[in-house]
Structure formats: structure tokens, C-alpha cells
Amino acid sequence: MKIESIKIVNKVDVRQPAFPYVKPTDYYKNHLGESSPTEAAMINRVHTLELKTENIRVYYNATEEVANFVILISKKIQGMELEDISLMWDMIYRYTLPIGRGGIAMHALSAINIMMYDAYSRLLNVPVYNIIGGKTRNKIRAYASHLHPNDKKSLQDEALGYEKEGYKTMKMRFLYGPSEIDGVDKNIEFIKEIRDTVGYNVELACDSWMSWNYNFALKMLKKMEKYDIAWMEEPLLPDDFDSMKLLSRKTDIPIAEGEHHYYLYDVKRLLDSGIRIIQCDAVWAGGITAMKKIAALSETYGAIVIPHTGNIYNIHFIASEPESITPMGEFLTKYREWMEQNMDGIIYPEHGYFNLNNKPGFGVEYNGNIRDI
């Protein structure tokens, strides 16, 4: 069965909730205020893509820039056999080398790859995880991801809420980085508040979203060690591999990276830098095809893969790998509104676990208006 077309069929304006957190642009608040670098990706407008074959249509949500790039390169795969997923991936990866290898081009390649997997597995009437190795378990451990510091009471209540909901792991954010002279001590106070509230029977991970430098991160991590931190996520700029190597040698806290890294070559640099928790996302790093390769490479280094966000595409990937390689999935507890626009069938955790189903494809159905854009 051949790919007939890929087109944009809907546009939805969304408003991402604003939560306080440390950002790599905090040095420039006089110019940028509290705006987030994610605004550069135009997340406020989601476009719905449709991949059509003879009798199957699948849908995927993307930012405007990614959707437009998908349309640009879709001309190269029109008429391609639906099952030729690896052929498409390698051809488009090579075709976009001068302007690709990351960013919007890789996001677009991910979108096409995911839609092809969705359509092909629907043709076979099986879930995607069945055609990428089969499921290794019926449910996947979820971790609650938010805990943006605001005031101590709301932070404590939120942490207690996750514990009562059955989560055994939760992840917090920070407010301060190197631009604040007393940022280390202020950040540590938030960790202490959570630990004093839920104790040490719950895993606590931390995320600074690319916003620290080596010296600040080292000071933070040394003070964090007594709080039994599960991992420290993105303490450094994504391309600062040398500092990652130094930092990973100076602390007992595992360093997690990969949310803003692409495909195998970035991941190998991370692994060679001592990173042993890889967080690449199927919607950014190259789709399911790339994630399967990333898992295999990570296994050879003794690393684990915990993808960024618990979107349905990552859930199927996680299910297809042994629990020793993909132990859990992230659940962004406050961001459901814009992550999956116009889709029914999204899996949400129950009692701390994502429960798999056996619906064809990724198991999600488009419920929005369809019109040619």
C-alpha cells in the first residue's frame, strides 16, 4: 500500500500554562522578561497532519514550523510503499543533511516516521509495539513530573498528592541558576521541603533545563547528594559535552541528558561523556526508528533510556524494550492541554502506571475538524 499524501488538515491555537522555572535565558531578563525559549518553537499553534493511504488515515500534531517542513519533504516520499519505513528514514535523513541532523528537520523526520508506523500497524491491525519487538510488560511505571517551585505550601501539597496517587518517583524543577548569587542555597531549600514532606521512600529527580554552568552545577550537586537524588537532568547546555564528562566524575548523582539531543551521534557523545540516563524523545530524536537504535547503543554502555514526556509514541517504544533498558515513562502532570491536541485514546497513568492496550496503531483517534489548509 502506497503513501498517497501528507497534508495539514487543521490548526489549533493553544496556550501553554506558565509555570516558574529556571531557564538558560535568565541572564537576559532585562530584554526577554520571563518568556521561555520554548516560545521560539511557536508551541502556541498546533497543526494536525494527515497521512493518507488507500483506506487508512493517521494523524499527528506538530508545531507550525515542523508541519510546514513535513509538507516540504513529503513530496519525496509520495508513492512510497507504506512498509518501507527504514528506507524513508535513511533517505530523508541524508536528503536533509545540509539543513538537518537536529532541530526542526529532525522533528519533521520524526513525525513522518511515527505516522508511517501508525498507518502500517493499523494495516496489520496490531499495536505499534507488536511490530517493533512486541511488548515486554502490560504496564509501565510512570513518574510524576512537575513540582515547579512557587510557594512551599503548594509544593508540599503537590508532592503529597503524587505520593497518594501511587507514584514512586517524582521530578521537581528549580527557580535559580548562575545569574542569582544565592541561587544554590535557595534551590536546596526547595529540595529540603519536598524531602521533609514525602521522606525517602519516594525517588526524587531534579531538572534544571539546560540552565546551569559547570561551577554552579557542581556546587548544587555536592549539596544535593545527601538528599538521595535519583538523577539530575540537563544541568548544562546540550553541547557542553566536556563539562558533562567532568561533572559526571565529580558526583554520585546520575546525570541525565538527551531531551535536546538528536539521533545516534549525539547520544554516543553523551555516553562517552559518562551519561548513563538517556532521555531522547521519539517526537524529536528521529521517531521510533531512531529510538530503537538509541536503546541498543545505550545498552552497550550499561545506560538506561527514560524518554522525555510520556507521549503515546514513547510509551510504545518503552513497552517494546526490556524493563532493564526502559524502566519507566515520564508523565507531565500539568501539560495535557497542548501535548495531545484533538486526540482521543491517550493513555494516562493509573496508580502510578501506564496500562497498555491492544488497539491498532498507537491507539489514538483524531477527533478534530478536518479541512485542507
**255: exposed, middle or buried (Cβ count in 10 Å: 0-12, 13-18, 19+):** buried
Please state, in angstroms and rounded to a whole number, the distance separating the CA atoms of residues 340 and 366. 10
- In 3D, which of 300, 292, 345 has the Cα closest to residue 318? 292
Point out the least confidently predicted range of 5-14, 197-206, 254-263, 299-308.
5-14
Q: Where are the beta strands (DSSP E) in the chain?
A: 5-13, 45-52, 57-63, 139-145, 169-173, 203-207, 229-233, 255-257, 277-278, 304-305, 328-332, 343-344, 353-355, 365-366
| CATH class of the structural domain 5-125 | alpha beta
Confidence (pTM): 0.96
Q: pLDDT at position 113, please?
A: 98
Average pLDDT over residues 100-113: 97
In which band, very low, low, confident or very high, does the pLDDT at 325 lie, cut at 50, 70 and 90? very high
Once rounded to an integer, what is the mean pLDDT over residues 55-83? 95
Q: Which set of grid coordinates corresponds to residue 295?
A: 536503546
The mean predicted confidence, pLDDT, of the chain is: 94
Q: CA 212, CA 221: separation in Å to the nearest integer?
A: 11
What are the Cα distances from residue 29, in Å, to 25, 36, 43, 185?
Answer: 7, 10, 21, 21
CA-CA distance, 221 to 246, in Å (whole number)? 13
pLDDT at 40: 55
- State yes or no: pLDDT of 152 exceeds 60: yes
* pLDDT for residue 166 is more than 60: yes
Q: What integer is the mean pLDDT of 132-154?
A: 96
Q: What is the DSSP string of 55-95?
A: S-EEEEEEEHHHHHHHHHHHTTTTT-BTT-HHHHHHHHHHH
Q: Please give the grid coordinates belonging to residue 158.
A: 503537590
Question: pLDDT tens digits for 34-68?
Answer: 777 766 554 568 899 999 999 999 999 999 999 99
As a whole-number percent, the residues of the chain with pLDDT over 90 amount to 87
- C-alpha 96 chain-centroid distance: 23
Q: Hey, what's the cell of 352?
A: 502510578
Residues of the chain with CATH 3.30.390.10: 5-125
Q: What is the DSSP string of 111-142?
A: HHHHHHHHHHHHHHTSBHHHHTT--S-SEEEE
How many angstroms separate the CA atoms of 56 and 295, rounded?
30
The yes-or-no verdict on residue 371 having pLDDT over 90 is: no
pLDDT category of residue 217 using cuts at 50, 70 and 90: very high
Band (324; pLDDT cuts 50, 70, 90): very high
> For the residues 17-39, what does the mean pLDDT come to?
84
Phi, psi of 278 (to 5 degrees): -100, 130
Predicted local distance difference test score (pLDDT) of residue 266:
98
* Residue partners of 221: CB distance under 8 A and separation at least 6: 232, 235, 247, 250, 251, 253
250-297 confidence digits (pLDDT tens):
999 999 999 999 999 999 999 999 999 999 999 999 999 999 999 999
pLDDT at residue number 39: 60
**Domain 131-366 listed as CATH 3.30.420.590:** no
Indicate whether 18 pLDDT > 90: no
pLDDT recorded at residue 211: 97
CA distance 43 to 33: 18
Domain with CATH 3.20.20.120 in the chain: 131-366
Q: Going by DSSP bridges, is the β-strand pair 328-332/365-366 parallel, antiparallel, or unpaired? A: unpaired
